[in-house]
Structure 1
Amino acid sequence: MQHGIDLESYYDLRLLAAVSVSPDGDRVAFTAQESDPAADEHRTGLYVAPTDGSREPHRLTRASTASSPTWGPDGDTLAFLAARDTDLDRERGRIDDEGDGEEAAESNAEGADWNDGDGGSGTDGDETPTQQVWAFDLARGGDARQLTAFDRGVTEFDLAPDGERLVVAARDPTDEQAEYLDQREDGGPIEVTRLQHKRDGAGWLDDVTAYLFVGEIGADEADADGFDRLDDASGAGSAEPLAGLQPAWGPTDRIAFTTCVDDDPDDSGAYDVCTIAPDGSERRVVTDGSLRCASPTWSPDGDRIAFDGSNYDNWYEPNEAYVAPDEADADVASVSGELDRTLARSGAPRWLDGEMVVVPIADEAWTRLAVCPVDGEPRRAFTRQGRDRTVAAFDLAGDTVALGLTAADQPPDVYAVPGAELREDDAGGPTRRVSALNDGWLDEREDPLPDCEVVAYENGDGEEVEAVVYYPNDFDADADDPAPTICSIHGGPMSYDAPAYRFAIDYWTSRGYVVAKPNYRGSTSYGRAFSEVLKGSRGELESDDVISAMEHLVDEGVADPDRLFCTGFSYGGITTAHAVARTDTFAAAAPEHGIYDFYSNFGTDDNHNWHQWEFGMPWENPDLYRDISSITRVDQIDTPLLITAGEEDWRCPPTQAEQLYVSVRKRGVDAKLVIYPDEHHNIGTPKRATHRIEELTEWFETHEPSVAEGVSGARPNEREASSANGEQGEP
């Protein structure tokens, strides 16, 4: 019998976040998230390793989170963003071209994180740190050197091709705005005049503008006074608080960035690619305002830019890779459109050479690479990466491809592949494993990892849909009894599921559950027609696909019809509520961080532009807004509900969870409401992440019919596991 992994093992897991290949392709830097139990924080460490796999990765940071690893042109400078204690050399006035000094290099030749204190950067340790740019000199050793000291921190950056300058994005308040921000920090009133009045994760918005700044890395003064502000390179628009300016410094000494140039940017989804000279002159608006653009990347000769572009109104259309010359009002061409697949979020477009762009694409239930010639037909690459592994991270430089690969039984690790293989029609796929982030963790565990397959089934309309199904290891539907089954629904809906490692699924399968993740209609990895069919509706198509997945697994002898459960986060929570309003199939369900009344929700979240485009204004189409809301069918919900929300979730406000909770309780339905204080549209800390899994599991376990009816002997392995792990088990 399987006893289940301990929730505490979550704290020992390291999850790959991003990869960055050095200019010559010989090394790869990567970041990996881990947990600090004492501080109850997730922290992202920075590592570097040779891409030939000849040496284990070397860890560069430990005590503070590092992000955005970026190589200098010499291949020895590795810059990153972090909030750390102020560089001691900076405090002593020794920021110069000699780096962080021979004494530091001598005492710390391996680059250990001796100055990576808990306080972070930009302060003397007595104040909350701000995020700044830091850099390691990997040739000389020593700790990272602080390159910026902006009072309110740096959000993004890039290094110049000459290795002597950098461009950063930072907010620059006027004196009046600074006074308002200080009042806000002291608990003063919130005053907003912007139409886009809030953004999830950014909170209530203000009128402070973010700009690009350019400065020399070796300047005597690396604070904001040592940088030149580019007045014509500023942030604007509803997307800017989260999307940023995304600066990219090109080989011809021009800087690409993204912003909204619309006359009313808060009421527009447009996000254009622009370029500008480092002295702030010659700004060019490359795109024409018809796309939401992201991730600009320069071609090797610097005359063209590749970027991710999407229809900012019709979110169901696939994101495509575009190429444009560095010209105002340029002719923009899609190089990936013929694939009818959206670009995945696991990496930005990268140039293989001057004529080919490589992008990760969402391809049915996998993330794969595609090679897109500027003049020619795009094609899939690495077809033999295996149908059990998917791409979780991607970068390309110096004819080396770095991939983060994951599978159901494999937490993501870094692999390196010669870029030359991308030029072949049927490349062999990943050949060198670079990291082994969790081998020790895997060796210590007793429970095997889950099995997984992609299952095709018919929905209620007779159309084929797929689900990624995870099984307890060695589960055999022909020999074993049907298993309790959790339907876990992805968010979006502009998203999809692939056979990747997830701790929650690992936890559930180790306790005997089958977990199914349907790629319901609206999922973005099956082409525009499959995704766009959802446009203008909510609930009916998705819930049909969810329920049909469960019916299929029951018919196949996999799922126990009396022990079916359902959960989903964000749009998955929306779909969960619609599903239980439609059927009593599930013994219990858990809609998480969802929207259940679109009419009352309008204007209280940060997505009003999307809802306006898809459904019109609620006072113009009240019947439509009511029809797409599961709250209007709450009289049909009899399934016990665990309803969760973040207290400061501006994507799916907590009042939505309250409405659903009170409504079903008024009807006498068993329900529980869980609110995470100070939390946005996520689950932030390790303690809360494990609490969420524990809450869901307990809800499902206690609502199994055998438990609810007091049948003795039900699932003894679960009671044994709970006792062994010190967790609350079944009654």
Structure 2
Amino acid sequence: MRHHYRALPGLVAATFAAFTGAALAKDDTPALPTTLDYKDTFNLEYPAAPQFSPDGSSVIYERRSSDIMSDSTRTSVWQVNLDDMSHRPLMADSANAFATALSPDGSKLAYLSDAGGSVQLYVRYLDSDRTAKLTNLEHSPGNITWSHDGKTLAFTMFTPSKPASLFTNMPAKPKGATWAEPATYIERTQYRADGAGYLPDGHNQIYILGVEGGTPRQLTTGNYPNSGSLNFSRDDQSIYFSAQRDENYALHPLVSDIYKVSIDTADVTQVTDIEGPEGNPVISPDGKKLAFMQLNDRKLSYQNGDIVIMDLSDNSTTRITTGLDRSIGDYVWAQNSNTLVFSYQDKGNTRLARVNLDGEIQALDIAIGGQSLGRPYTSGEFALSQQGDIVYTKANSMQPADLALLTRSGKQTTLTNLNEDALGHLNLAKVEAMDVTSSVDDRDIDAWIAYPPNFDKNKSYPLILEIHGGPHAAYGPHFSMEIQLMAAKGYVVVWSNPRGSSSYGEDFGNLIHHNYPSEDYNDLMDVVDATIDKGFIDKDNLFITGGSGGGVLTAWSVGKTDRFRAAVVAKPVINWVSFALTADAYPFFSQYWMSDMPWEVADKLWDRSPLSLVGNVKTPTMLLTGEADYRTPISESEQFYQALRLQGVDAAMVRIPGSPHGIAGKPSRLIQKVGNILAWFERYKTDNQEQ
């Protein structure tokens, strides 16, 4: 029965509407959102791992999105046809498909999937859209690599060894008895890792498997890890890899060499023996040269490596990027075997360049990024076609990455538009660069500012200083959900790359070598002052936050100044002595971030510990850390929290259950993180700003 209630007069119509829940007045219609909100976190997507088909006519990539039901990242595989720009899914059902690797002839796609519950290796035949499951392994494979003839797949996989034990005379448990869990015996230097927890006995080893499936064959053994990228020799008779093949590998974190293992005999041969680590071996298309990364290790806290070329005919080597002085990321050979395209960090961006075998570098007018959704870190991936085209993740301050194409003729085209549906109708924070001069030594400090939606320069706004971690890392003009959410709540947000940041060369990075924190604090205060000088900041409502290294500097700052209304210290180091002996990477930190063993330089470490300044703190301070954080263990946060409580400073502690150091690894955790930060700031924000 159809109800024509609009024709009913007066009170009758109103009564009918009340009972049916109908809204009669236009003003009662719920307004559509115009600014970003927490729930929008689940709507974001970005591309990853792009690769060209051999003929260069299409691009296959991983499309990563959030699953609101499982609170996780969902990965599917899509393809873009470059002739007509059509966009279609290859594998986009309920299972995750990732770690894709296209066969050399382009007919097959190897990938990992959890379609059967556990992560296994699959091959999809692209000419028939048929899929074969190749493995049924107890542990997940990784680093999937094709042989050049397309007949064999290589991969790494964790391979258990016999658990260490000491006491072996435990009496037998009576039938039906309930005893406590047995003790865990640890006799390893590297026994736990952030994100992985306490490590089982065993290591990654290299395996090969025919493309028709069957039983994988193990090639490497030994009580040391064999991980990272793999690369077949041109004749497919051996596999190149990087490793530290010494049982004391964990005590020497920056030592590794290139090796090759024979497919037939499993004999391992050392290829390089240079002081410092070598990694990421890549064979040239003609099979005559080997490119790899090499770091001249000088025990500095920030060091840049070089791309090195080895001539396999005589094993001579040439460093081809020594004049760059930047952190180098990925690199790939051009088809002519005389040029490589590589990514590198530069002034808060990740950029691309070409380099020939004579070391002549040609920068490309491309900034890649958009894959760090939480905070505005540098990021980005790219691929090079056999024809010379480049596909890359395009950086954008207003949205996460999209795929873009740079043809060999120089034409740039955007291939995807993944977030227009989620963000296009919203009023987002606009981002601008800001030049700052350090008061310490007149150095240029790069900074960026995000303005709240509907920003009015004639009004006064609260300010949030957001500090990056690392400390040898870099922010830039990139999309950040955390920054955007802060701005959507009415804050001006500013972030920067103080001294010590990467992407500005070794000299700039090592200004804090064995001296952290120090004048990087002054750089940050200069950024705050420069923002205030713009005239629209409420000086009574300044707030500060940062995570990891940014947490260190936040805690240090509130021990140095009372200018901030409130602070949130996320996953910090508070006491360098305790951190050195509880962090998962303690062999690295004690050798590279400290001038000697922590008990030998305890006084110097204490002088740089935020805990040494805690008696000065009056700023209301919240600590926020994951309970499963082994990089900056939660015991660091607890020390600062308890010290603040002892002296009567307003303090709170937020513990994220199950979270490792990367708190924003799950969408709901990102929301919890930024939501708690803003709630803390709102508690202490005064009401005298004109908004």
Query: What is the TM-score normalised by the length of structure 2?
Result: 0.86
C-alpha offsets along residues 52-75 of structure 1, whole Å, 9 cap, x if unaligned?
462024251342333222110121
Counterparts in 2 of 1:535 and 1:204: CA distance versus 1, 3 Å: same
Residue aligning to 1:343? 328
* Equivalent runs, 1:176-191 vs 2, <5 Å: 188-191=182-185
Unaligned runs of 5+ in 1: 86-119, 121-128, 181-185, 422-427, 717-731
Of residues 414, 418, 421, the one that matches 1:433 is 414
How far, CA to CA, are the matches of 1:30 and 1:190 in structure 2? Answer: 42
Tell whether 2:347 aligns with 1:364: yes
Of residues 38, 47, 51, the one that matches 2:78 is 47
* Equivalent runs, 1:358-507 vs 2, <5 Å: 358-382=341-365, 392-398=380-386, 399-418=388-407, 420-421=408-409, 428=410, 431-443=412-424, 445-473=425-453, 475=455, 479-507=457-485
Of residues 251, 255, 264, the one that matches 2:234 is 251
2:70 counterpart letter in structure 1: A
How far, CA to CA, are the matches of 2:104 and 2:545 in structure 1? Answer: 47
Counterparts in 2 of 1:389 and 1:652: CA distance versus 1, 3 Å: closer
Per-residue deviation, 1:289: 5.0
Residue aligning to 2:373? none
Deviates more, 1:203-212 or 1:348-357: 348-357
How far, CA to CA, are the matches of 2:521 and 2:470 in structure 1? Answer: 14
| Preserved contact between residue 286 and residue 326 of structure 1 (Cα < 8 Å) | no
Tell whether 2:130 aligns with 1:138: no
Deviates more, 1:528-537 or 1:56-65: 56-65
- Secondary structure class of the residue paired with 2:87: coil
1:687 counterpart letter in structure 2: S
How far, CA to CA, are the matches of 1:474 and 1:256 in structure 2? Answer: 55
Counterparts in 2 of 1:482 and 1:379: CA distance versus 1, 3 Å: farther
Residue aligning to 1:113? none
* Equivalent runs, 1:79-478 vs 2, <5 Å: 79-85=110-116, 120=117, 129=118, 131-142=119-130, 144-174=131-161, 188-219=182-213, 221=214, 226-231=215-220, 236=224, 244-253=227-236, 254-262=238-246, 264-269=248-253, 270-281=255-266, 283-311=268-296, 313-326=299-312, 330-344=315-329, 347-351=330-334, 353-382=336-365, 392-398=380-386, 399-418=388-407, 420-421=408-409, 428=410, 431-443=412-424, 445-473=425-453, 475=455
| Preserved contact between residue 390 and residue 407 of structure 1 (Cα < 8 Å) | no
| Preserved contact between residue 453 and residue 470 of structure 1 (Cα < 8 Å) | no
How far, CA to CA, are the matches of 1:76 and 1:154 in structure 2? Answer: 22
* Equivalent runs, 1:52-67 vs 2, <5 Å: 52=83, 54-67=85-98
Counterparts in 2 of 1:188 and 1:646: CA distance versus 1, 3 Å: farther
Counterparts in 2 of 1:190 and 1:563: CA distance versus 1, 3 Å: same
Tell whether 2:650 aligns with 1:670: yes
Residue aligning to 2:27? none
| Preserved contact between residue 5 and residue 447 of structure 1 (Cα < 8 Å) | yes
Per-residue deviation, 1:394: 1.2
| Preserved contact between residue 631 and residue 661 of structure 2 (Cα < 8 Å) | yes
How far, CA to CA, are the matches of 1:585 and 1:572 in structure 2? Answer: 18
- Secondary structure class of the residue paired with 2:150: coil
How far, CA to CA, are the matches of 1:611 and 1:236 in structure 2? Answer: 21
Counterparts in 2 of 1:24 and 1:42: CA distance versus 1, 3 Å: same
1:432 counterpart letter in structure 2: T
Per-residue deviation, 1:649: 0.9
How far, CA to CA, are the matches of 1:665 and 1:491 in structure 2? Answer: 26
How far, CA to CA, are the matches of 1:298 and 1:485 in structure 2? Answer: 50
Of residues 683, 691, 694, the one that matches 2:675 is 694
| Preserved contact between residue 451 and residue 491 of structure 2 (Cα < 8 Å) | yes
- Secondary structure class of the residue paired with 1:39: coil
1:356 counterpart letter in structure 2: T
| Preserved contact between residue 48 and residue 61 of structure 2 (Cα < 8 Å) | yes
Per-residue deviation, 1:152: 1.9
2:63 counterpart letter in structure 1: A
Counterparts in 2 of 1:589 and 1:385: CA distance versus 1, 3 Å: closer
How far, CA to CA, are the matches of 2:405 and 2:115 in structure 1? Answer: 31
Of residues 611, 616, 619, the one that matches 1:639 is 619
Residue aligning to 1:612? 590
Residue aligning to 1:648? 628
Per-residue deviation, 1:459: 3.5
The structure with the largest alpha-carbon Rg is 2
Per-residue deviation, 1:594: 1.2
- Secondary structure class of the residue paired with 2:519: helix
Unaligned runs of 5+ in 2: 1-32, 168-179, 370-375
Counterparts in 2 of 1:435 and 1:550: CA distance versus 1, 3 Å: same
- Secondary structure class of the residue paired with 1:155: strand
- Secondary structure class of the residue paired with 2:323: helix
How far, CA to CA, are the matches of 1:53 and 1:199 in structure 2? Answer: 46
Of residues 19, 36, 50, the one that matches 2:50 is 19
Counterparts in 2 of 1:189 and 1:372: CA distance versus 1, 3 Å: farther
1:302 counterpart letter in structure 2: G
Counterparts in 2 of 1:174 and 1:207: CA distance versus 1, 3 Å: closer
Counterparts in 2 of 1:154 and 1:189: CA distance versus 1, 3 Å: farther
Per-residue deviation, 1:371: 1.1
CA RMSD of aligned residues (A): 2.8
- Secondary structure class of the residue paired with 1:699: helix
* Equivalent runs, 1:541-556 vs 2, <5 Å: 541-556=519-534
- Secondary structure class of the residue paired with 2:381: strand
2:341 counterpart letter in structure 1: V
| Preserved contact between residue 351 and residue 367 of structure 2 (Cα < 8 Å) | no
Deviates more, 1:447-456 or 1:572-581: 447-456
Deviates more, 1:634-643 or 1:556-565: 556-565
Per-residue deviation, 1:390: 7.7
Counterparts in 2 of 1:384 and 1:245: CA distance versus 1, 3 Å: closer
Percent of matched pairs sharing the same residue: 26
| Preserved contact between residue 429 and residue 450 of structure 2 (Cα < 8 Å) | no
Per-residue deviation, 1:601: 1.8
Residue aligning to 2:9? none
C-alpha offsets along residues 226-259 of structure 1, whole Å, 9 cap, x if unaligned?
2221136x6826xx7xxx3322224331311111
- Secondary structure class of the residue paired with 1:172: strand
Counterparts in 2 of 1:11 and 1:385: CA distance versus 1, 3 Å: closer
| Preserved contact between residue 486 and residue 567 of structure 1 (Cα < 8 Å) | yes
How far, CA to CA, are the matches of 1:484 and 1:324 in structure 2? Answer: 55
Counterparts in 2 of 1:332 and 1:672: CA distance versus 1, 3 Å: farther
Counterparts in 2 of 1:589 and 1:235: CA distance versus 1, 3 Å: farther
- Secondary structure class of the residue paired with 2:160: coil
Counterparts in 2 of 1:289 and 1:661: CA distance versus 1, 3 Å: farther
How far, CA to CA, are the matches of 2:313 and 2:452 in structure 1? Answer: 55
| Preserved contact between residue 198 and residue 605 of structure 1 (Cα < 8 Å) | no
Deviates more, 1:659-668 or 1:47-56: 47-56
Residue aligning to 1:529? 507
Counterparts in 2 of 1:384 and 1:408: CA distance versus 1, 3 Å: closer
